[in-house]
Amino acid sequence: MANKIMKGKFITFEGTEGSGKSTQSKLLYDYLKAKGLKVIYLREPGGTRISEKIRKILLDANNKSMLPICETLLYLAARAQLVSEVILPALKKGKIIICDRFLDSTLAYQGFGLGVDIKTIKYIGNFATSGIKPDLTIFLDLPIEKGLSRCGRIKDRIEKRTFLYHHRVRGGYLKLAAQEHKRIKVIKVDSDKNKIQEKIRKAVLEKISHVI
């Protein structure tokens, strides 16, 4: 289903571990909500009862034997449920959706990171999302060393992976941003969170100015 028939706007946040995307996406949500806009905040994987259950399986550090293809399909399955149950209905009603991660995460983490075929992820991903693409994606870019040092002592299954893996993920994100520079805005995490938030708000307001 093409975005052009939707009334709402879909904004996603992407980033490697410790980039601050959860903090920045929530700050944006609070900002837009304070303006009186109809805005929904979501996280991936999650956002629905079924998707949250899949999230637990994916992040459980005890699931060491999970195959890359299994991991990929589980992320896409959780996303399919979220799109059908929450995202599509909200966009049709003209709401603004802020989502912490979306299909770009699967391309970066499972595609570039684990070596799952990129074209296959895009093909199944398009099916899982009913063709929905973000109107704007904020990619918070931070060197891997700094990001991993920000993670807590108890790490989930993905955070525990090697430095080389996370380096491939970051490189994948930068490739995606170069390929889709009109949609994906790269914001360097090189200042305090308030200054970064100002840059994010500027990019977002340009995209949703018609509803303010």
Give pLDDT tens digits for 49-108. Answer: 999 999 999 999 999 999 999 999 999 999 999 999 999 999 999 999 999 999 999 999
- pLDDT tens profile 172-202: 999 999 999 999 999 999 989 999 999 999 9
User: What residue spans define the domains of the chain?
Assistant: 3-211
Task: Tell which residue, 46, 54, 29, 32, has the closest CA to residue 87.
Answer: 46
- Please compute the mean of the pLDDT values over residues 117-131 and round it to a whole number: 98
Burial 83-111 (b: 16+ CB within 10 A, else e): beebbbebbeeebbbbbbbbbbbbbbbbb
State the pLDDT confidence band at 118, using cuts at 50, 70 and 90: very high
What is the pLDDT at residue 155? 83
Whether residue 4 is predicted with pLDDT greater than 60 in this model: the reply is no
Contact indicator for 202, 142 with CB cutoff of 8 Å? no
- Please compute the mean of the pLDDT values over residues 135-139 and round it to a whole number: 98
| Better-scored residue on pLDDT, 170 or 145 | 170
- pLDDT tens profile 32-59: 999 999 999 999 999 999 999 999 999 9
191-198: long-range pairs with CB below 8 Å, 24+? 193/20, 193/23, 193/24, 193/27, 196/20, 196/24, 196/140, 197/24, 197/27, 197/28, 197/31
Among 9-13, 102-106, 158-162, name the one with the lowest average pLDDT: 158-162
Whether residue 212 is predicted with pLDDT greater than 50 in this model: the reply is yes
Q: How many Cβ atoms are within 10 Å of 178's Cβ, its own excluded? A: 10
What is the pLDDT at residue 192? 93
What is the pLDDT at residue 30? 98
- Please compute the mean of the pLDDT values over residues 120-134 and round it to a whole number: 98
Q: Does domain 3-211 have CATH number 1.10.268.10?
A: no
What is the pLDDT at residue 1? 44
State the pLDDT confidence band at 28, using cuts at 50, 70 and 90: very high
